[in-house]
Amino acid sequence: MASCVDERYFASARDAGVPIDQLLNLVGAGIVLQPRQLAASAMARLCDFEWGPTEIGYGGARGGGKSHWAIAQLADDCLRYPGLKCLLLRKVGKANRENFEDLRRKVLPGIRTSYNKTEGTLTFANGSVIKTGHFQNSSDVDAYLGLEYDVILVEEATTLTKSKVDDILTCNRTSKPGWRPRAYFTTNPGNVGHAWFKARFIDPWRRGAETETRFVQATVRDNRHVDTGYHAKLKRLTGWKRRAWLDGDWDIAAGQYFTTWRHDTHVRPDIGYGFAEPDWRVWLSLDYGFAHYTAAYLFAIDGDGTAYCLDEHAQRGWLVDAHCEAITAMLERNRIARHRVETILAGGDVFKRESDGERVSDDYERHGYKLERANMSRVDGAAEFLRRLGDVDRTPPLRPSLYISDHCSGLIDCIPGLMHDPARGEDVKKVDCDDDGFGGDDYYDGARYGLMHVATPPPPKLIRTPGRRVF
């Protein structure tokens, strides 16, 4: 049995949710994991159940013990199911291609395995195999496609695009009775795959709404084995690299536009339905789309000039009448009477005449929603967004004047992923959603139109007559 395994270790494994058979399996193999690694391994075992997840993500910063955990978890799987076939895809430079042998000696000191260097296969006594695949570029992983793998583990997953990962996952299938195919991912924030990984793992994790995925965040602070020099090196980093690699901040990516966005500050779960006081100004905004999303927002501003994005309606492929119904429902659940809504601001496309002479805005008007032209300046809108986010990390902090309800999940997921437009640095890069509806900026556009309603200079104060309808 591995040294440093004592009562306390058993207790921490139990606290992390590790089932006893798994714990004995790991300890028997000489594998001693740290609390976050134990939590990730416990989640990997949930993949055994029909109702359990099929994808586990681990990491989120440099030095959090990702590579160590990756091998340990594959060993746990291999030891319990004879003949298991695993693929371990590792992002490596040419220089460290040979490192895998060191790694397996370090992580699996107590297991008899044989490593075939030429084939890159690690074989266990029970016939289970880990095939190691190394990649430097996305295209390198094509060499491993086409076969069937019971388990696939991708290290540095955000260095791969979503379509490349989807390609790899087509190989994640099994013909073994009692085994459920699964995939594990380790990674840091940033890189070309940042957005898909965040959407797939981080956003559901933050919302407490994980279904097929589970994520365990681990930074260098969760790894007591890391040498102080490595830790100090991470601490010397600045800018987005520090936030991504040291802090494991998922709201950062190289080229991120809204670098002052802080999920914990700007997203306010206390902004529930009925949050707006009766004397606050309220209004709606809308970015229209059919193939793309229609994203509508309900805003309010308090007497101090702090704006609140209270609620969101976002759907694609819907006709105008369905959107109007949803917007009406949004007002009702927020207990906002229609006559309080100052305006509904929309992008210019809804006012364009179609071939039949009709405008989308006419459709909305028929349902009682008279749309008005939003200020569509992209650069002004981005500047206003930035201004309202404030800067809580500055000394002294610049207090935000925009808060967003956690009902606005599309907007919350979208803002941190927005990038500078390389051709026009002061603008946000325009991005369309993919075929799955993922990754578009319609949410941001919809909210931007709304925010411009209270941009400086302020519009004249509305003099409200009770019961008067203003749109």
Please give the residue ranges that form the binding site for ligand ATP (CB under 6 A): 32-34, 37, 59, 62-68, 106, 223, 225-226
114-133: contacts with Mg ion (CB under 5 A): none
Is 69 or 283 the residue whose CB approaches ligand ATP more closely? 69
Residues paired with residue 284 on neighbouring β-strands, in sequence order: 298, 344
Q: What distance in Å separates the CA atoms of residue 202 and residue 240, rounded to the nearest whole number?
A: 18
Is 91 or 164 the residue whose CB approaches Mg ion more closely? 91
Among 160, 90, 80, CA closest to 120: 90
The interface partner of residue 446, options being ligand ATP, Mg ion, none and the CB cut-off 5 to 8 Å by kind, is: none
The interface partner of residue 64, options being ligand ATP, Mg ion, none and the CB cut-off 5 to 8 Å by kind, is: ligand ATP
At closest approach, how far in Å is the CB of 165 from Mg ion?
18
The interface partner of residue 162, options being ligand ATP, Mg ion, none and the CB cut-off 5 to 8 Å by kind, is: none
Q: What distance in Å separates the CA atoms of residue 238 and residue 38, rounded to the nearest whole number?
A: 31
The interface partner of residue 33, options being ligand ATP, Mg ion, none and the CB cut-off 5 to 8 Å by kind, is: ligand ATP
Provide the sign of the torsion angle of the four alpha carbons 347, 353, 359, 361, taken in this order.
positive
At closest approach, how far in Å is the CB of 107 from Mg ion?
12
Span from 61-69, 81-89, 195-203, 448-456 in contact with Mg ion (CB under 5 A): 61-69
Cis peptide bond N-terminal to 397, omega within 30? no
Is 37 or 405 the residue whose CB approaches ligand ATP more closely? 37
Span from 67-75, 113-121, 146-154, 366-374 in contact with Mg ion (CB under 5 A): 67-75
At closest approach, how far in Å is the CB of 226 from Mg ion?
11
Say whether residue 217 binds Mg ion (CB under 5 A).
Answer: no
Is 33 or 300 the residue whose CB approaches ligand ATP more closely? 33
Is 240 or 351 the residue whose CB approaches ligand ATP more closely? 240
The interface partner of residue 407, options being Mg ion, ligand ATP, none and the CB cut-off 5 to 8 Å by kind, is: none
Cis peptide bond N-terminal to 396, omega within 30? yes
Name the closest residue to Mg ion (Cβ). 67
CB 89 within 8 A of CB 131: no
Say whether residue 67 binds Mg ion (CB under 5 A).
Answer: yes
At closest approach, how far in Å is the CB of 156 from ligand ATP?
7
Say whether residue 37 binds Mg ion (CB under 5 A).
Answer: no
At closest approach, how far in Å is the CB of 86 from Mg ion?
17
Among 226, 225, 158, 220, CA closest to 192: 158
The interface partner of residue 34, options being ligand ATP, Mg ion, none and the CB cut-off 5 to 8 Å by kind, is: ligand ATP
At closest approach, how far in Å is the CB of 67 from Mg ion?
3
At closest approach, how far in Å is the CB of 398 from ligand ATP?
32
Phi and psi angles of residue 376, each rounded to the nearest 5 degrees, phi first: -95, 5
The interface partner of residue 128, options being ligand ATP, Mg ion, none and the CB cut-off 5 to 8 Å by kind, is: none
Q: What distance in Å separates the CA atoms of residue 168 and residue 148, rounded to the nearest whole number?
A: 10
At closest approach, how far in Å is the CB of 230 from ligand ATP?
7
Is 38 or 433 the residue whose CB approaches ligand ATP more closely? 38
**Which residues sit at the interface with Mg ion, rule CB under 5 A?**
66-67
